[in-house]
């Protein structure tokens, strides 16, 4: 029996051709002259969705996460008052009146006065600048230094990895607070930069280990092996193929560490080796208010509360980023 050929395109097996041209009303004309609604654009084969990347998926999840939204709003507010504290506090944080020492709230002074007669509200607002500057600058320094050293160790391995791992173990063995007491006691910290330098010096090993492990994991993927087989240089493989896919864990850890660095600066200032007067810092205010905790608890409550909310906001932001950027958790 001879093989029957397939009917030409646009011809129905039972007879005439089908006119697939859409009519003016958005219908498709069939052989019997009747029309039927055209399929929606989303159902057509050419209207397929474009594949989403890890970052687009993460942003979609973050926009729906209330933890991220709340923490981002708090951090945005802190950044605004750090840049322009006069928007909500017009007074000077260094203006004090001993006649009003330890007094409670008054018109124009909602947080009361500390032991030196300074406005607690004004000093709390202006103290946000120090915390944000120390946290952001220290995190950037730690992230850059730790990421570079860890990425190189994980990518090249060998003796470079072995030496860096032993150096990292040495820095991990140094207690952070004790190291700050020793190093900053010989430095006059009239600005934030000695504190930032100390945090970078002792904070990079954590980021370095995270970056090293992430690079080791990513470079085992097929696209990295294909780039090597095609003759790509080590620099191109590291910068174009490995780094963009290994940076997510570093961002998460650095965001959580930012809140820790803010608390560390306040701790060192409280102990008297961090920032010193006339600098304005939450740690300085907490230290100055500690002797008056029974007679003027408000002077201790407000800077302590601001510090706790700031640290909590960055930790919550880091947790939200971790949930969004880790595909294994989704």
Strands (E), 21-84: 27-29, 35-37
Supply the pLDDT for residue 39. 52
Supply the pLDDT for residue 208. 94
> What mean pLDDT, rounded, does the chain reach?
84
Segment 11-37 mean pLDDT: 48
Segment 69-87 mean pLDDT: 94
Supply the pLDDT for residue 87. 92
Supply the pLDDT for residue 198. 92
Region class of 59: left (phi > 0), else alpha (psi between -120 and 50), else beta = alpha
Supply the pLDDT for residue 204. 93
- How far is Cα 133 from Cα 263, in angstroms, rounded to an integer? 13
Would you tell me the crossing angle of helices 193-218 and 243-271 to the nearest 10 degrees? 150
Segment 155-166 mean pLDDT: 90
Specify which residues 27 forms β-bridges with: 37
Residue 301 has pLDDT above 60, yes or no: yes
For the segment 228-263, what is each residue's pLDDT rounded down to a tens digit? 888 888 889 988 889 888 888 999 999 999 999 999
Domains of the chain and any CATH numbers = 54-85+111-329 (1.10.3720.10)
Supply the pLDDT for residue 186. 83
pTM: 0.80
Residues 6+ apart with CB under 8 A from 144: none
For the segment 303-322, what is each residue's pLDDT rounded down to a tens digit? 999 999 999 999 999 999 98
Segment 270-299 mean pLDDT: 91
């Amino acid at each position: 029996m001879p093989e029957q050929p397939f009917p030409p395109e646009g011809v129905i097996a039972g007879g005439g051709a089908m006119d697939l041209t859409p009519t003016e009303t958005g219908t498709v004309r069939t052989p019997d002259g009747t029309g039927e609604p055209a399929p929606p654009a989303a159902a057509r084969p050419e209207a397929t969705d474009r594949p989403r990347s890890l970052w687009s998926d993460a942003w979609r999840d973050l926009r729906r996460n209330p933890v991220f939204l709340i923490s981002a709003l708090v951090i945005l507010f802190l950044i605004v008052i750090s840049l322009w504290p006069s928007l909500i506090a017009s007074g000077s944080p260094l203006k004090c009146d001993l006649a009003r020492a330890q007094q409670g709230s008054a018109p124009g002074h909602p947080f009361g006065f500390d032991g030196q007669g300074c406005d607690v509200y004004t000093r709390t607002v202006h103290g946000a600048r120090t915390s944000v500057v120390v946290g952001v600058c220290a995190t950037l320094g730690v992230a850059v230094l730790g990421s570079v050293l860890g990425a190189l160790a994980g990518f090249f391995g060998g003796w470079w990895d072995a030496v860096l791992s032993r150096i990292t173990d040495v820095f991990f063995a140094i207690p952070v607070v004790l190291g700050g007491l020793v190093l900053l006691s010989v430095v006059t910290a009239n600005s934030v930069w000695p504190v930032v330098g100390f945090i970078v010096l002792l904070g990079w090993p954590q980021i370095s280990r995270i970056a090293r492990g992430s690079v080791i994991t990513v470079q085992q993927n097929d696209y990295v092996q294909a780039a090597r087989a095609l003759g790509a240089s080590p620099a191109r493989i590291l910068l174009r193929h490995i780094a963009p896919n290994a940076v997510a864990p570093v961002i998460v850890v650095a965001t959580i560490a930012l809140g820790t660095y803010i608390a560390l600066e306040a701790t060192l200032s409280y102990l008297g080796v961090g920032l010193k007067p006339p600098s304005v810092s939450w740690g300085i205010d907490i230290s100055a208010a500690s002797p008056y905790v029974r007679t003027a608890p408000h002077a201790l409550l407000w800077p302590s509360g601001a510090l706790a909310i700031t640290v909590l906001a960055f930790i919550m932001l880091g947790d939200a980023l971790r949930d969004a950027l880790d595909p294994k958790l989704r």
